[in-house]
C-alpha cells in the first residue's frame, strides 16, 4: 500500500512534457515517442478512411523520384521526339500494297471479291422487293408488323411515319437506305450474336473480345472508312461493311451479357436433368437472354441508322447522300427534308423493337382478336395482308409515291434559316448576335483552355490524369488512363490532341450545365418531361450532318460551331440519364426530408442529388463519350485538330494521317472514360473504404 501510494505520488509530482510523456523527454523511447506514435496512428486512420489520399501520397512519392529522372533524360515541356514512333512509312507501304494487289491477289479475288458480290446482290434484292411492293405495300407492312408486336396505336404511328417519307418527296431514297440498312443490320446481328455467343460461353474469349469491341465502338467511323474503301472501293459493299463494324458491338456486348447473367438456379436445374451443353444453350440460356438480345437488336438498328449519312461519303446513296449533297451546297431545307425520314425510320424501328422486348412479359391474350395477333397466326396474317395490299397497288399501277402528294418543305425552311441568319447572326442589339457569342466563347474559353493544356509539361499532364483516375478508381484504371494519354504522344500527335481535348472539355462543361438544369426541371415536372420527350427523340436520332448546317449558319465556321454541334448531340443523353436518376431516388428518403420541414430546394440539394450521384456520374461519362464522337464532324466545320486530320486522310487517301488521328481519338476516349467513370474497388480498397 505504501509503495503504491508513493509511486502514485511520485508520478503525480513529476512534470509532464507537452506530449504527456513524463519529463517531456525522459521516456525510454526517446523524445516525443508517444506523440509520434499518436500522429502515426492518426495518419493511418485517416488513410484507412480515405484510401484515395494514400494513393495520391504514393503517387507523389513516385513523381518526386521519376520526374527529375525524366527531365534529365528528356528536357522540355513538349512530348519528347525521342519517344515518338513514325507510322507513316509502314502504313504507307500497306496502303500501296493494297492498291497494287487489289485486282490480282487471291485474297481479294476469292474472299473480298465474293464478299463484295454477296453484299451487292443482297442489297439489290431487298431494294427490288421493296420497289415491287410499292408504297402501299411497304406502308401496310410497316403498320402490320407494328400491330403484330404492340397493337393498334403503334401500327398507326408506323404507317403514318413511313407515309411521311413519301410526303417529304424522299420515297425512293428512303427505300435505298432501308434496303441497305436491312442487309447491314442483318449482318451486324449475325456477327454480333456469334461474337457475343463466344464471349458469353468462354471467359477467355470474353477477356480477349472486350478490348476489341471497345476499339470498334470508340474508333471514329471516318477512321475505318479509309481502309474499307482501300479494300472494297467506293460503293455499297464498303458502306455496308463499315456499318457492320460500327453497329455489331452492341449486339455482341448484350448477347454476352444475357448469356453470362442467366439464372444460376435454372441452369443448375437443367444440368441436373442431364442436358448437354447444346441443349442447355438452346433451351435455357438463349430463352433467358431474350430481352438482352432484343435490346441488342434495338441498339444495332439505331447505330446502323446513325451511319447512314457517314456511309454516304463512300457511295452508300439514299437519304445519306441527299443530306451530304445538301451540306455541300448549304441547303438547310433539302438537308432537313432528307434527314427527317431517317428520324422517322429510327423512331418506328426503335418503338417496334422496344415493344417487342416489353411484350415478352405480357401474359397470353385471352380475346379472339388478341389470339389472332399473337403467335404464328399473327405473322401469317401480316404476310397475307401485306401481300394483298401490295398486289392491289400493282393492279392499280401505283407503285411509286404520287407526285401530287408531295409537300415541299425546303423553301419555308430555307426562308426561316435566312431570317435567323439575318437577324440573329449579327443583328441582335445590346447582347450581340450569335457570331459575337461564338467569337467571345472562342476568345474567353477555347483559346485559354487550349493554351493552358499545351503549355503544361507533358509529365504534368500524365500526373494529373493519374491523380484523377486514382481518386475515382483503382491502380489499374490509372495505369490504363496514363498509358492511353502517353500513346498519343508516342503517335506524334500531342499538340493536335490537346487542341481536341480543349474542345471536348469545353463542350462537356456546357453540356453538363444545360443538361443537368434541364434534367432537374424534367424530373420535377411530369408535364415538362412529356413536352421534352419528342424533342429529345428528334435530336437523338437526327443525323449529325443535318444540324451542322443551321449551326454553321448561326455561328459561322470555327471551333465554336464544332463545340455547339457536340453539345446538341450529347445533350439528349445527359438530360435523359439525369431525369431518370432523379426520378429513381427512394421516395421514403424524400418523404423523410419533407417531414423534417425541408424545402423543395433543400430536398433537391441534400437528398435527390446525393442519392442520384451514380446516375449523374454516368451522365458525365456519356456526355464525354458522345462529345468525342462528334470530333470528326466538327473537323468539317472548322474544328481542326484530330477531326480535320481524319477527314483529310479520308479525302486524300492518306492511310497514315487518317488512322493515326483516329487512333489518337480512341486513346483520348479511353483516357476520358477512365477518369470519368468510377471503377469498383476490390480487395484492400473495399476494406479500407
Task: Render pLDDT for 319-335 as a digit per residue (tens, 0 to 9).
Answer: 878 887 777 777 778 88
Instruction: Decide if pLDDT at 184 tops 80.
Output: yes
Q: Where are the beta strands (DSSP E) in 579-663?
A: none
Q: Is 288 helix (H, G, I), strand (E, B) or coil?
A: helix
Domain 420-679 fold is: MetI-like fold (1.10.3720)
**Comparing 39-53, 242-256, 346-360, 541-555, which segment has the lowest mean pLDDT?**
39-53
308 pLDDT higher than 80: no
- Give the pLDDT score at 22: 44
DSSP H or E segment with residue 401: none
Residue 25's pLDDT is what? 45
What pTM did the predictor assign? 0.70
Question: What's 311-328 look like in SS3?
Answer: HHCCCCCHHHHHHHHHHH
Name every residue whose Cβ is closer than 8 Å to that of residue 73 and which is 6 or more positions away in sequence. Answer: none
Q: Which of 55-59, 329-333, 446-450, 565-569 has the highest average model confidence (pLDDT)?
A: 446-450
Top mean-pLDDT range of 84-98, 331-345, 443-457: 443-457
Gyration radius from the chain CA atoms:
31
Q: What is the pLDDT of residues 354-405, one digit of tens each?
A: 777 665 555 555 554 555 556 666 677 778 888 888 777 777 667 778 888 8
d(CA 42, CA 347): 59
Dist CA 399 CA 134 (whole Å): 4
Among the listed residues 616, 642, 618, 619, the one whose alpha carbon sits nearest the alpha carbon of residue 631: 642
pLDDT of residue 362: 56
Summarize the chain as % helix, strand, coil (round to 5): 80, 0, 20
CB 342 within 8 A of CB 302: no
Q: Poorest-confidence range of 122-126, 170-174, 593-597?
A: 593-597
Residue 24 has pLDDT above 70, yes or no: no
- For residues 36-45, give the mean pLDDT: 58
> E strand or H helix at 284, and its extent?
none
Q: Cell for 223? A: 477512321
**CB-based contact 567:507 (threshold 8 Å):** yes
- Condensed to tens digits (0 to 9), the pLDDT of residues 465-495 reads 888 887 777 778 888 888 989 999 888 888 8
**pLDDT for the residue 370:** 54
Find where cell 490524369 sits: 465
User: Is the predicted pLDDT of residue 688 greater than 50, yes or no?
Assistant: no
What are 632-642's pLDDT values in tens digits?
677 767 777 88
Give the per-residue pLDDT at 430: 62
Across 563-572, b (16+ Cβ under 10 Å) vs e yields bbbbbbbbbb
Exposed e or buried b per residue across 29-38, where buried means at least 16 C-beta atoms within 10 angstroms of its C-beta: eeebeeeeee
Q: What is the pLDDT of residue 12?
A: 42
Domains of the chain, by residue range, sit at 420-679
Sign of CA dihedral 420, 422, 428, 432: positive
SS3 for 331-395 is: CHHHHHHHHHHHHHHHHHHHHHHHHHHHHHHCCCCCCHHHHHHCHHHHHHHHHHHHHHHHHHHHH
What is the number of alpha carbons within 13 Å of residue 366 lying toward its C-beta? Answer: 1
Helices 641-652, 221-232: axis angle to 10 degrees equals: 10
In whole angstroms, what separates CA 76 from the centre of its chain?
36
pLDDT category, 448, cuts 50, 70, 90? very high
What's the pLDDT tens digit per position in 100-157? 887 788 888 888 888 888 988 999 999 999 888 888 888 888 888 888 887 788 888 8
Amino acid at each position: 500500500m505504501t509503495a503504491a501510494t508513493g509511486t502514485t505520488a511520485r508520478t503525480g509530482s513529476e512534470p509532464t512534457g507537452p506530449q504527456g510523456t513524463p519529463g517531456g523527454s525522459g521516456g525510454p523511447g526517446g523524445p516525443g515517442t508517444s506523440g509520434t506514435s499518436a500522429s502515426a496512428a492518426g495518419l493511418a486512420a485517416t488513410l484507412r478512411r480515405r484510401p484515395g489520399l494514400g494513393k495520391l501520397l504514393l503517387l507523389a512519392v513516385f513523381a518526386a523520384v521519376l520526374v527529375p529522372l525524366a527531365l534529365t533524360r528528356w528536357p522540355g515541356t513538349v512530348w519528347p521526339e525521342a519517344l515518338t514512333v513514325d507510322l507513316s512509312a509502314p502504313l504507307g507501304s500497306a496502303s500501296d500494297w493494297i492498291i497494287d494487289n487489289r485486282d490480282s491477289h487471291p485474297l481479294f479475288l476469292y474472299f473480298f471479291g465474293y464478299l463484295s458480290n454477296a453484299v451487292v446482290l443482297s442489297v439489290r434484292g431487298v431494294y427490288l422487293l421493296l420497289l415491287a411492293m410499292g408504297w402501299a405495300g411497304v406502308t401496310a407492312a410497316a403498320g402490320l408488323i407494328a400491330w403484330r408486336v404492340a397493337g393498334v396505336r403503334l401500327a398507326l404511328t408506323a404507317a403514318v411515319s413511313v407515309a411521311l417519307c413519301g410526303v417529304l418527296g424522299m420515297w425512293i431514297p428512303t427505300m435505298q437506305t432501308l434496303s441497305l440498312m436491312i442487309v447491314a443490320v442483318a449482318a451486324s446481328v449475325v456477327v454480333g450474336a456469334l461474337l457475343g455467343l463466344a464471349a458469353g460461353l468462354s471467359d477467355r474469349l470474353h477477356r480477349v473480345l472486350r478490348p476489341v469491341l471497345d476499339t470498334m465502338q470508340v474508333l471514329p467511323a471516318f477512321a475505318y472508312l479509309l481502309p474499307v474503301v482501300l479494300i472494297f472501293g467506293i460503293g455499297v459493299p464498303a458502306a455496308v461493311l463499315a456499318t457492320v463494324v460500327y453497329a455489331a458491338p452492341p449486339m455482341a456486348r448484350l448477347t454476352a451479357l444475357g448469356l453470362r447473367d442467366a439464372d444460376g438456379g435454372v441452369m443448375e436445374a437443367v444440368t441436373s436433368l442431364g442436358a448437354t451443353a447444346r441443349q442447355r444453350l438452346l433451351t435455357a440460356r438463349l430463352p433467358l437472354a431474350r430481352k438482352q438480345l432484343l435490346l441488342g437488336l434495338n441498339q444495332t438498328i439505331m447505330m446502323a441508322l446513325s451511319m447512314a449519312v457517314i456511309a454516304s461519303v463512300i457511295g452508300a446513296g439514299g437519304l445519306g447522300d441527299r443530306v451530304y449533297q445538301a451540306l455541300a451546297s448549304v441547303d438547310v431545307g433539302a438537308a432537313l427534308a432528307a434527314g427527317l425520314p431517317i428520324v422517322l425510320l429510327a423512331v418506328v424501328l426503335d418503338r417496334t423493337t422496344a415493344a417487342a422486348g416489353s411484350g415478352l412479359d405480357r401474359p397470353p391474350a385471352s380475346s379472339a382478336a388478341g389470339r389472332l395477333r399473337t403467335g404464328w397466326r399473327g405473322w401469317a396474317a401480316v404476310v397475307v395482308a401485306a401481300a394483298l395490299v401490295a398486289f392491289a397497288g400493282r393492279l392499280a399501277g401505283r407503285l411509286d409515291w404520287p407526285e401530287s402528294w408531295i409537300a415541299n418543305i425546303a423553301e419555308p425552311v430555307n426562308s426561316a434559316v435566312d431570317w435567323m441568319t439575318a437577324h440573329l447572326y449579327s443583328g441582335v442589339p445590346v447582347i450581340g448576335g450569335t457570331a459575337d457569342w461564338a467569337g467571345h466563347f472562342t476568345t474567353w474559353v477555347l483559346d485559354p483552355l487550349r493554351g493552358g493544356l499545351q503549355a503544361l509539361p507533358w509529365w504534368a499532364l500524365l500526373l494529373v490524369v493519374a491523380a484523377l483516375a486514382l481518386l475515382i478508381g483503382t491502380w489499374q484504371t490509372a495505369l490504363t488512363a496514363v498509358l492511353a494519354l502517353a500513346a498519343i504522344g508516342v503517335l506524334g500527335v500531342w499538340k493536335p490532341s490537346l487542341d481536341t481535348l480543349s474542345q471536348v472539355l469545353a463542350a462537356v462543361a456546357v453540356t453538363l450545365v444545360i443538361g443537368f438544369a434541364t434534367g432537374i426541371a424534367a424530373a420535377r415536372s411530369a408535364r415538362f418531361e412529356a413536352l421534352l420527350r419528342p424533342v429529345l427523340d428528334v435530336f437523338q436520332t437526327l443525323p449529325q450532318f443535318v444540324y451542322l448546317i443551321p449551326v454553321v449558319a448561326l455561328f459561322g465556321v470555327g471551333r465554336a460551331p464544332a463545340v455547339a454541334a457536340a453539345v446538341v448531340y450529347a445533350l439528349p443523353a445527359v438530360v435523359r440519364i439525369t431525369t431518370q436518376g432523379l426520378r429513381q431516388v427512394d421516395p421514403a428518403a424524400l418523404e423523410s426530408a419533407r417531414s423534417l420541414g425541408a424545402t423543395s430546394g433543400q430536398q433537391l440539394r441534400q437528398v435527390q442529388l446525393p442519392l442520384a450521384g451514380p446516375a449523374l456520374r454516368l451522365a458525365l461519362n456519356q456526355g464525354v463519350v458522345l462529345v468525342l464522337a462528334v470530333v470528326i464532324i466538327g473537323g468539317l466545320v472548322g474544328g481542326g485538330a484530330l477531326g480535320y486530320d481524319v477527314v483529310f486522310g479520308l479525302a486524300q487517301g492518306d492511310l497514315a494521317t487518317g488512322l493515326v488521328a483516329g487512333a489518337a481519338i480512341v486513346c483520348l476516349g479511353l483516357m476520358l472514360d477512365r477518369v470519368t467513370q468510377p471503377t469498383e474497388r476490390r480487395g484492400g480498397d473495399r476494406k479500407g473504404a
